[in-house]
Structure 1
């Protein structure tokens, strides 16, 4: 699914975050130490190679909601933006911390004049955030932030399953309908 909102392309796809070779940057669902982990973080670290771990060391630890940026190393993207999403029900207030992830990522992208970003569904895997609730918590302020974007022109939500992609597609269609 692809749509346009405030002149920015927004899409949701089922796919592999490490294979988004037409995007300037991707977002890593990072852990606090910015180390290789499971899920998205493990996949990105494996694809980027050992240089990523070295680049992350001086940036760690990060707190829930915080985002930092590194080069892409062996990834097909120029940049990787690392964000620590909240553990649902543990890191509080979870909704504000999740919003901060997306908004801080956007700020870093604007600071680096990045035109395109691929996002996983932050905090909805091992961190337990219910997918629909996550969308309701972060998407309205995220869309508002997009309306003020200067450099970002393309957002892609790269999701793990067809079901997740369908949930995003439905939410985005309803959110951006006139």
Structure 2
């Protein structure tokens, strides 16, 4: 049902021609390393200036800004959870990141959105589990909304892209995570 709306690409997120890209941000929203730093560098100083007005963001929530010098019109910033041991609501917080980003996209009538692998870098979330949560959350959202939004999982590495492709190809509509 939704696989024609969900895509996996291996690319630099900052170069994608989509309506919105998601930034795996830190709570300050003021830039950092990894994808967050790459987005801020490519978008230019205007993004940092707008982020300074937002007052940060708590884990699991999302905020939206303009894309400035990016191809994307919008950047949706979300703060993923730091993996501790799986016993501190990490899975629910990560699912909340995806839901909140998609809800912001829906409110702005965004038709295409690209997600990075949220929380799997320095935040240490197990990659396969994070991918299951991402796909499950997106599929649940798409089942509940008929806007036809195109969702891209943009993986920087081929290894990460293979995890998403495998799960997408072998998952049912009712994919669950522990």
Fold shared by both chains (TM-score > 0.5): yes
Deviation of 1:31 (Å): 0.7
Tell me: CA distance 1:166–1:36, structure 2 relative to 1, closer, same or farther (3 Å): same
Give the equivalent residue in structure 2 for 1:51.
Answer: 46
Please say which of residues 103-112 and 90-99 is displaced more in the overlay.
Answer: 90-99
Aligned residues: 173
Moved more, 85-94 or 70-79: 85-94
Q: Name the SS for the 2:63 alignment partner.
A: strand
Alignment pair present for 1:113 and 2:109: yes
Greater Cα shift, 40-49 or 56-65: 56-65
Q: Is the 8 A contact 1:28 1:81 kept in 2?
A: yes
- Using the alignment, how far apart are the partners of 2:42 and 2:147 within structure 1? 26
1:10 aligns with 6
TM-score, normalised on structure 1? 0.91
Per the TM alignment, residue 8 of structure 1 is displaced from its structure 2 partner at its CA by 4.8
1:131 is displaced (CA, Å) by 0.6
SS at match of 2:22: strand
Query: Does the Cα contact within 8 Å between 2:3 and 2:168 map onto a contact in 1?
Result: no
Unaligned 5+ residue runs, structure 2? Answer: none
Query: How many angstroms does 1:69 deviate by?
Result: 0.2
User: Is the 1:70–1:79 contact (alpha carbons within 8 Å) kept by the matching residues of 2?
Assistant: yes
Q: Match of 1:123?
A: 119
For residues 124 and 148 of structure 2, the distance between their equivalents in structure 1, rounded to whole angstroms, comes to 29
- Give 1:163 shift: 0.8
Structure 1 segments of 4 or more deviating over 4 A?
none
SS of equivalent to 1:75: coil
Asked if 1 retains the 8 angstrom alpha-carbon contact of 2:5 and 2:149, the reply is yes
Match of 1:30 among 25, 29, 35: 25
* Cα shift at 1:39: 0.4
RMSD across aligned C-alpha pairs, in angstroms?
1.9
Spell out, residue by residue over 1:87-130, the C-alpha distance to the aligned partner (whole angstroms, 9 max, x if none): 01179310010000000000000000000001000000110001
- Asked whether 1:141 is paired with 2:137, we answer yes
Deviates more, 1:121-130 or 1:52-61: 52-61
Further displaced range: 148-157 or 76-85: 148-157
Matches of 2:143 and 2:21 in 1, distance apart? Answer: 20
